[in-house]
A = this chain, B = another copy of it.
Amino acid sequence: MLGNGIEAFGLRDDAAVVSLPGGGPLVVSVDSVVEGVHVDLSICSPADVGWKALMGALSDLAAVGAAPIGALVALCVPGGSGHGELALGVMSGVAEASAASGCQVVGGDVSEAGQLTVAVTVLGTVEPGGRPPVSRAGAQPGDVVVLTGPCGASAAGLRQLRARGSAAADRGDLPEAYRRPVARIREGQLGRAADAHAMIDVSDGLALDLHRLADASGVGFELTSIPVATGATREEALGGGEDYELVIAVDDVGLEEMANAFGAAGLRAPVPLGVITAESSTRTLGGNPLERLGWQHTVG
């Protein structure tokens, strides 16, 4: 714990945990989407951008097993003609994602800027007295590594949209996965309830996020296979990002509990990828070293 009830947790995971006087833990995270860097308005609608911004931030709550309480949206839009329409379009997508996730927008701010920028802060919590938020740092040798679903659909959708080059193009499953990703909030909560040792969301690429979980936990992994979304390549599954599936490290007892809970909730069965090992330098898939494929931020 640092001073003032803020756990060190927050310096490593995307979400931070704050203890409130007289209350349960508050989980907070912030995420930005910038036009021309993270999104391209020639293949996404303004509403898609708003949806992606809120869901991307919510995925950080999902990754620690928190329930969303509310979101604050700082929206910057270019001045000039059409800026009002653009702002309304983004906020309509935020509202759709808010309705889909049950996370209300509780505050916001609109400014002028040279390019569209949406910074979303999300607030979440876990039930008082329940299991605490799950960090990415708790994986233990012998844990099973599971994934909540196949990866690569978002990257494959982006590839299709770029090839077709228009926001009006294909509204198929893969473009939809790119434009309207869904944070795995329920899965994260059930993972936490099953005492998962570590969790992370696949935001920047499955391979990179697997390494991050292993780095934070000081462990290695030996994976046998990874599930690739239909229509996606293996490289897109490993390096594409924005799938928002959760990687969960859990012991055998927890895995059984989690699999039962997923089934009861009508969720896809978690897919086992392999095991956590003690030797931190061993990070393999099918016996070969796993490259750190994924989106490396150019700044920061």
Contact = CB atoms under 8 A, between A and B. Distances in A.
A273 interface: no
Contact of A113 (B34, B72, B104): B34
Contacts of A79: 298-299
B18 A123 contact: yes
Contacts of A26: 20, 26, 69, 123
Nearest to A5: B69
The winner among A38, A87, A117, A119 for most chain B CB atoms within 10 A is A119
Contact of A20 (B15, B20, B110, B119): B20
Contacts of A104: 2-4, 6
> What band does the interface of chain A fall in when counting residues whose beta carbon is under 8 Å from B?
35 or more
A17 to B, nearest CB: 9
A297 B110 contact: yes
A34 B112 contact: yes
Contact of A28 (B21, B29, B123, B127): B123
Given A21-B127, A107-B10, A121 B30 contact: yes
A300 interface: yes
A203 to B, nearest CB: 11
A114 B37 CA distance: 9
A20 B113 CA distance: 34
A233 interface: no
A300 B73 CA distance: 13
A20 B76 CA distance: 29
A154 interface: no
Interface in A28-87: 28-32, 34, 36-38, 69-70, 72-77, 79, 83-84, 87
A20 B72 CA distance: 16
21 contacts: A2-B104, A4-B69, A5-B69, A20-B125, A21-B24, A21-B127, A21-B128, A23-B23, A28-B107, A29-B72, A30-B73, A30-B74, A30-B109, A74-B74, A74-B121, A76-B119, A79-B298, A79-B299, A110-B297, A112-B298, A121-B121
Interface of A: 2-6, 10, 15-16, 18, 20-24, 26, 28-32, 34, 36-38, 69-70, 72-77, 79, 83-84, 87, 104, 106-115, 117, 119, 121, 123, 125, 127-128, 297-300
Given A77-B299, A119-B119, 15 more contacts: A4-B69, A6-B70, A6-B106, A16-B106, A21-B23, A22-B24, A26-B26, A26-B123, A32-B74, A38-B111, A72-B121, A74-B74, A74-B121, A110-B297, A123-B123
